[in-house]
Amino acid sequence: MILTLTLNPSLDRTIEIGALARGAVIRAAAARLDPGGKGVNVSRALLANAVASRAVVPFGGDEGRQLVRLLGQEGLDMVTVPVAGRTRSNVTLAEPDGTVTKVNEPGTALSPAELDTVADAVLAAAHEADWVVASGSLPPRVPDDVYARLCRRFAGAGIHVAVDTSGAALARALGAAPALVKPNLEELAAATGRALRCLGDVVEAAGELRAAGARTVLASLGADGAVLVEDGGIWYGEAAVAEPRSAVGAGDAMLAGFLAAGARGERALVEALAWGAAAVGLPGSRMPGPRDIRRDAVRVHAPDPARPLTSALDPARPLTSTTGPARPPPGR
Protein backbone atom coordinates (compact mmCIF):
# COMPACT_ATOMS: atom_id res chain seq x y z
CA MET A 1 0.00 0.00 0.00
CA ILE A 2 1.18 3.51 -0.84
CA LEU A 3 0.42 6.24 1.68
CA THR A 4 0.43 9.88 0.58
CA LEU A 5 0.70 13.05 2.64
CA THR A 6 -0.46 16.40 1.27
CA LEU A 7 0.11 19.19 3.78
CA ASN A 8 -1.23 21.86 1.42
CA PRO A 9 -4.15 20.33 -0.56
CA SER A 10 -6.37 22.41 -2.80
CA LEU A 11 -9.44 22.74 -4.92
CA ASP A 12 -8.21 23.01 -8.50
CA ARG A 13 -10.39 24.87 -11.00
CA THR A 14 -9.25 24.48 -14.62
CA ILE A 15 -10.69 26.86 -17.21
CA GLU A 16 -10.14 26.21 -20.91
CA ILE A 17 -9.82 29.40 -22.97
CA GLY A 18 -9.03 30.32 -26.57
CA ALA A 19 -6.12 32.61 -25.69
CA LEU A 20 -4.87 34.48 -22.65
CA ALA A 21 -5.07 38.25 -23.07
CA ARG A 22 -4.14 40.41 -20.10
CA GLY A 23 -6.83 42.89 -19.11
CA ALA A 24 -9.46 41.41 -21.45
CA VAL A 25 -12.79 39.69 -20.78
CA ILE A 26 -12.18 36.06 -21.71
CA ARG A 27 -15.01 33.60 -22.41
CA ALA A 28 -14.37 30.11 -21.09
CA ALA A 29 -14.81 27.20 -23.46
CA ALA A 30 -15.08 24.71 -20.58
CA ALA A 31 -14.33 24.45 -16.88
CA ARG A 32 -13.94 21.72 -14.29
CA LEU A 33 -13.27 21.46 -10.57
CA ASP A 34 -10.99 18.73 -9.21
CA PRO A 35 -9.53 17.87 -5.83
CA GLY A 36 -5.86 18.80 -5.87
CA GLY A 37 -2.51 18.74 -4.14
CA LYS A 38 0.43 16.63 -5.21
CA GLY A 39 -0.03 13.75 -2.78
CA VAL A 40 -3.79 13.75 -3.35
CA ASN A 41 -3.17 13.45 -7.09
CA VAL A 42 -0.76 10.54 -6.59
CA SER A 43 -3.44 8.68 -4.61
CA ARG A 44 -6.09 9.54 -7.21
CA ALA A 45 -3.90 8.16 -10.01
CA LEU A 46 -3.23 4.98 -8.05
CA LEU A 47 -6.96 4.59 -7.31
CA ALA A 48 -7.80 4.99 -11.02
CA ASN A 49 -5.50 2.03 -11.71
CA ALA A 50 -6.62 -0.18 -8.82
CA VAL A 51 -3.38 0.22 -6.82
CA ALA A 52 -3.91 0.32 -3.05
CA SER A 53 -3.36 3.80 -1.63
CA ARG A 54 -4.46 5.97 1.28
CA ALA A 55 -4.25 9.76 1.46
CA VAL A 56 -3.71 11.82 4.62
CA VAL A 57 -5.47 15.15 4.00
CA PRO A 58 -5.75 18.14 6.35
CA PHE A 59 -8.77 20.27 5.46
CA GLY A 60 -10.52 23.43 6.65
CA GLY A 61 -13.43 25.75 5.84
CA ASP A 62 -16.05 25.36 3.13
CA GLU A 63 -13.36 24.70 0.51
CA GLY A 64 -11.92 21.91 2.65
CA ARG A 65 -15.29 20.27 3.12
CA GLN A 66 -15.89 20.45 -0.62
CA LEU A 67 -12.46 18.88 -1.22
CA VAL A 68 -13.32 15.98 1.10
CA ARG A 69 -16.71 15.53 -0.63
CA LEU A 70 -15.07 15.37 -4.07
CA LEU A 71 -12.50 12.83 -2.88
CA GLY A 72 -15.25 10.78 -1.28
CA GLN A 73 -17.21 10.79 -4.53
CA GLU A 74 -14.14 9.35 -6.27
CA GLY A 75 -13.97 6.60 -3.66
CA LEU A 76 -10.55 7.59 -2.33
CA ASP A 77 -9.36 5.88 0.85
CA MET A 78 -8.34 8.79 3.07
CA VAL A 79 -7.60 9.96 6.57
CA THR A 80 -8.93 13.49 7.02
CA VAL A 81 -7.59 15.88 9.65
CA PRO A 82 -9.68 19.02 10.36
CA VAL A 83 -7.69 22.25 10.82
CA ALA A 84 -8.71 25.78 11.76
CA GLY A 85 -7.76 27.52 8.50
CA ARG A 86 -9.24 27.41 5.01
CA THR A 87 -8.14 24.98 2.30
CA ARG A 88 -6.69 26.88 -0.63
CA SER A 89 -8.12 27.19 -4.15
CA ASN A 90 -5.98 27.19 -7.32
CA VAL A 91 -6.92 28.36 -10.80
CA THR A 92 -5.42 27.09 -14.07
CA LEU A 93 -6.02 28.73 -17.46
CA ALA A 94 -5.46 26.20 -20.26
CA GLU A 95 -5.01 27.27 -23.89
CA PRO A 96 -5.60 25.01 -26.93
CA ASP A 97 -1.86 24.49 -27.61
CA GLY A 98 -1.39 23.10 -24.11
CA THR A 99 0.04 26.27 -22.54
CA VAL A 100 -1.13 26.60 -18.93
CA THR A 101 -1.08 29.59 -16.61
CA LYS A 102 -1.50 28.79 -12.92
CA VAL A 103 -2.48 30.97 -9.98
CA ASN A 104 -1.91 29.11 -6.71
CA GLU A 105 -2.94 30.39 -3.30
CA PRO A 106 -0.35 29.99 -0.51
CA GLY A 107 -2.59 27.83 1.66
CA THR A 108 -3.51 28.00 5.32
CA ALA A 109 -1.02 28.04 8.15
CA LEU A 110 -0.82 24.93 10.34
CA SER A 111 -0.21 25.39 14.04
CA PRO A 112 2.36 23.17 15.79
CA ALA A 113 -0.50 21.23 17.40
CA GLU A 114 -2.22 20.72 14.04
CA LEU A 115 1.03 19.61 12.45
CA ASP A 116 1.54 17.10 15.27
CA THR A 117 -1.98 15.75 14.69
CA VAL A 118 -1.29 15.33 10.97
CA ALA A 119 2.04 13.62 11.70
CA ASP A 120 0.32 11.25 14.15
CA ALA A 121 -2.24 10.38 11.46
CA VAL A 122 0.55 9.58 9.00
CA LEU A 123 2.39 7.43 11.53
CA ALA A 124 -0.80 5.56 12.49
CA ALA A 125 -1.53 4.70 8.85
CA ALA A 126 2.07 4.00 7.84
CA HIS A 127 2.32 0.55 9.44
CA GLU A 128 0.37 -0.83 6.45
CA ALA A 129 2.45 1.02 3.86
CA ASP A 130 5.40 0.04 1.69
CA TRP A 131 5.89 3.64 0.59
CA VAL A 132 5.07 7.02 2.06
CA VAL A 133 4.87 9.86 -0.47
CA ALA A 134 5.54 13.28 1.07
CA SER A 135 4.85 15.84 -1.60
CA GLY A 136 3.84 19.36 -2.43
CA SER A 137 4.51 22.84 -1.11
CA LEU A 138 4.53 23.58 2.60
CA PRO A 139 1.82 25.77 4.11
CA PRO A 140 2.85 28.95 5.91
CA ARG A 141 4.67 28.47 9.24
CA VAL A 142 5.39 24.78 8.65
CA PRO A 143 9.12 24.14 9.27
CA ASP A 144 11.30 23.29 6.29
CA ASP A 145 12.51 20.05 7.87
CA VAL A 146 9.08 18.40 8.14
CA TYR A 147 9.71 15.95 5.28
CA ALA A 148 13.21 15.22 6.57
CA ARG A 149 11.78 14.29 9.98
CA LEU A 150 9.27 11.95 8.35
CA CYS A 151 12.05 10.27 6.36
CA ARG A 152 14.00 9.58 9.53
CA ARG A 153 10.94 8.26 11.40
CA PHE A 154 10.01 5.79 8.66
CA ALA A 155 13.50 4.63 7.75
CA GLY A 156 13.80 2.72 11.01
CA ALA A 157 10.56 0.88 10.25
CA GLY A 158 11.73 -0.17 6.80
CA ILE A 159 9.24 2.07 4.99
CA HIS A 160 10.46 3.81 1.85
CA VAL A 161 9.85 7.56 1.54
CA ALA A 162 9.42 9.41 -1.75
CA VAL A 163 9.75 13.20 -1.60
CA ASP A 164 8.39 15.54 -4.27
CA THR A 165 8.83 19.13 -3.18
CA SER A 166 11.06 22.14 -3.81
CA GLY A 167 13.27 24.78 -2.23
CA ALA A 168 14.41 24.47 1.36
CA ALA A 169 12.06 21.54 2.05
CA LEU A 170 13.79 19.51 -0.68
CA ALA A 171 17.27 20.53 0.48
CA ARG A 172 16.53 19.48 4.06
CA ALA A 173 14.93 16.20 2.95
CA LEU A 174 18.03 15.15 1.01
CA GLY A 175 20.03 14.95 4.22
CA ALA A 176 17.55 12.41 5.61
CA ALA A 177 18.34 9.93 2.78
CA PRO A 178 14.92 9.55 1.11
CA ALA A 179 14.53 6.46 -1.05
CA LEU A 180 13.32 8.61 -3.96
CA VAL A 181 13.08 12.26 -4.95
CA LYS A 182 11.20 13.50 -8.04
CA PRO A 183 12.23 17.04 -8.94
CA ASN A 184 11.04 18.72 -12.10
CA LEU A 185 13.46 20.73 -14.23
CA GLU A 186 12.98 23.98 -12.31
CA GLU A 187 13.37 22.26 -8.93
CA LEU A 188 16.48 20.38 -10.06
CA ALA A 189 18.11 23.59 -11.32
CA ALA A 190 17.27 25.42 -8.11
CA ALA A 191 18.45 22.57 -5.86
CA THR A 192 21.85 22.33 -7.53
CA GLY A 193 22.41 25.91 -8.70
CA ARG A 194 23.16 24.51 -12.15
CA ALA A 195 22.20 25.75 -15.59
CA LEU A 196 20.44 22.75 -17.18
CA ARG A 197 20.81 23.00 -20.94
CA CYS A 198 21.27 19.36 -22.01
CA LEU A 199 20.66 15.83 -20.77
CA GLY A 200 24.25 15.62 -19.53
CA ASP A 201 23.56 18.57 -17.21
CA VAL A 202 20.46 16.79 -15.87
CA VAL A 203 22.34 13.55 -15.21
CA GLU A 204 25.10 15.42 -13.37
CA ALA A 205 22.58 17.40 -11.32
CA ALA A 206 20.74 14.19 -10.40
CA GLY A 207 24.08 12.77 -9.30
CA GLU A 208 24.51 15.74 -6.98
CA LEU A 209 21.16 15.01 -5.32
CA ARG A 210 22.24 11.40 -4.84
CA ALA A 211 25.53 12.52 -3.35
CA ALA A 212 23.53 14.70 -0.94
CA GLY A 213 21.55 11.67 0.27
CA ALA A 214 18.78 10.65 -2.14
CA ARG A 215 19.06 7.03 -3.26
CA THR A 216 17.07 7.39 -6.49
CA VAL A 217 16.31 10.49 -8.57
CA LEU A 218 13.46 10.60 -11.08
CA ALA A 219 13.80 13.96 -12.84
CA SER A 220 10.74 14.99 -14.85
CA LEU A 221 11.65 17.33 -17.70
CA GLY A 222 8.29 18.43 -19.10
CA ALA A 223 8.35 18.32 -22.88
CA ASP A 224 11.80 16.71 -22.80
CA GLY A 225 10.77 13.52 -20.98
CA ALA A 226 12.40 12.14 -17.84
CA VAL A 227 15.73 10.90 -16.52
CA LEU A 228 16.08 8.13 -13.94
CA VAL A 229 19.33 7.81 -11.97
CA GLU A 230 19.71 4.98 -9.45
CA ASP A 231 22.24 2.42 -8.27
CA GLY A 232 21.34 0.10 -11.14
CA GLY A 233 21.91 2.58 -13.95
CA ILE A 234 20.83 5.70 -15.80
CA TRP A 235 17.91 5.83 -18.24
CA TYR A 236 16.26 8.51 -20.35
CA GLY A 237 12.70 8.23 -21.64
CA GLU A 238 10.16 10.16 -23.66
CA ALA A 239 6.53 9.65 -24.66
CA ALA A 240 4.28 11.14 -27.32
CA VAL A 241 1.01 12.94 -26.58
CA ALA A 242 -1.25 13.28 -29.63
CA GLU A 243 -3.55 15.99 -28.23
CA PRO A 244 -2.29 17.74 -25.06
CA ARG A 245 -5.01 19.18 -22.83
CA SER A 246 -3.44 20.03 -19.46
CA ALA A 247 -0.12 19.36 -17.74
CA VAL A 248 -1.65 19.94 -14.29
CA GLY A 249 -1.00 16.84 -12.20
CA ALA A 250 1.05 15.10 -14.91
CA GLY A 251 4.13 14.93 -12.69
CA ASP A 252 2.01 13.40 -9.92
CA ALA A 253 0.65 10.78 -12.31
CA MET A 254 4.25 10.08 -13.36
CA LEU A 255 5.30 9.48 -9.76
CA ALA A 256 2.27 7.25 -9.18
CA GLY A 257 3.11 5.13 -12.23
CA PHE A 258 6.73 4.81 -11.13
CA LEU A 259 5.74 3.58 -7.67
CA ALA A 260 3.04 1.27 -9.02
CA ALA A 261 5.65 -0.47 -11.19
CA GLY A 262 8.06 -1.12 -8.32
CA ALA A 263 10.00 2.17 -8.36
CA ARG A 264 13.08 0.69 -9.96
CA GLY A 265 14.64 0.35 -13.39
CA GLU A 266 13.55 0.71 -16.98
CA ARG A 267 10.13 -0.88 -16.52
CA ALA A 268 9.17 1.61 -13.81
CA LEU A 269 10.34 4.52 -15.98
CA VAL A 270 8.19 3.28 -18.87
CA GLU A 271 5.17 3.13 -16.58
CA ALA A 272 5.92 6.57 -15.17
CA LEU A 273 6.10 8.17 -18.61
CA ALA A 274 3.00 6.36 -19.85
CA TRP A 275 0.93 7.55 -16.88
CA GLY A 276 2.29 11.10 -17.12
CA ALA A 277 1.67 11.33 -20.87
CA ALA A 278 -1.88 10.05 -20.38
CA ALA A 279 -2.53 12.77 -17.80
CA VAL A 280 -1.39 15.48 -20.24
CA GLY A 281 -4.03 14.29 -22.69
CA LEU A 282 -6.85 14.70 -20.14
CA PRO A 283 -8.65 17.90 -19.04
CA GLY A 284 -7.91 19.65 -15.77
CA SER A 285 -6.18 17.49 -13.18
CA ARG A 286 -8.10 14.35 -14.06
CA MET A 287 -5.96 11.26 -13.42
CA PRO A 288 -5.59 8.57 -16.12
CA GLY A 289 -7.03 5.07 -15.88
CA PRO A 290 -6.04 1.90 -17.74
CA ARG A 291 -7.90 2.92 -20.92
CA ASP A 292 -5.92 6.18 -21.13
CA ILE A 293 -2.43 4.72 -20.71
CA ARG A 294 -0.35 3.83 -23.79
CA ARG A 295 2.93 2.14 -22.95
CA ASP A 296 3.69 1.65 -26.65
CA ALA A 297 4.15 5.45 -26.97
CA VAL A 298 7.12 5.38 -24.58
CA ARG A 299 10.75 5.13 -25.69
CA VAL A 300 13.49 4.48 -23.11
CA HIS A 301 17.22 4.38 -23.85
CA ALA A 302 20.57 5.58 -22.56
CA PRO A 303 20.71 9.39 -22.42
CA ASP A 304 22.73 11.30 -25.00
CA PRO A 305 24.61 13.80 -22.78
CA ALA A 306 24.84 16.35 -25.60
CA ARG A 307 21.11 16.36 -26.39
CA PRO A 308 19.81 19.90 -25.75
CA LEU A 309 16.71 20.55 -23.68
CA THR A 310 13.91 22.43 -25.39
CA SER A 311 13.14 24.19 -22.10
CA ALA A 312 16.70 24.77 -20.85
CA LEU A 313 16.90 26.47 -17.46
CA ASP A 314 19.38 28.73 -15.75
CA PRO A 315 18.79 28.96 -11.98
CA ALA A 316 19.74 32.64 -12.06
CA ARG A 317 16.84 33.40 -14.40
CA PRO A 318 13.57 34.41 -12.66
CA LEU A 319 10.76 31.91 -13.12
CA THR A 320 7.44 33.01 -14.58
CA SER A 321 3.92 31.85 -13.76
CA THR A 322 3.33 30.58 -17.28
CA THR A 323 4.74 27.27 -18.45
CA GLY A 324 5.29 26.39 -22.05
CA PRO A 325 3.03 24.12 -24.09
CA ALA A 326 2.35 20.74 -22.53
CA ARG A 327 3.95 18.93 -25.42
CA PRO A 328 5.07 15.32 -25.12
CA PRO A 329 6.43 14.05 -22.88
CA PRO A 330 5.03 15.35 -19.57
CA GLY A 331 6.36 15.71 -16.10
CA ARG A 332 5.81 19.13 -14.55
Decide if 252 is catalytic. yes
d(CA 327, CA 281): 10
**Cα–Cα distance list, 71 to 50, 54, 90, 123 (Å):** 15, 11, 16, 21
C-alpha 108/C-alpha 83 separation (Å) is 9
Torsions phi, psi of 219, nearest 5?
Answer: -100, 115
- State how far the Cα of 208 lies from the Cα of 217, in Å rounded to an integer: 10
Helices and strands in the chain: count of H runs, count of E runs: 9, 16
- Answer whether 171's CB lies under 8 Å from 279's CB: no
Give, as one character, the DSSP assignment of residue 318: P
- Backbone φ and ψ for 199, nearest 5 degrees, come out as -65, -35
User: From the candidates 12, 34, 252, 292, which is the catalytic residue?
Assistant: 252
N- to C-terminal Cα distance for the chain?
25
Q: Which residues contact 324 (CB under 8 A, 6 or more apart)?
A: 99, 222, 223, 311
- How many other C-beta atoms are found inside a 10 Å radius of the C-beta of residue 322? 12
Catalytic residues: 252
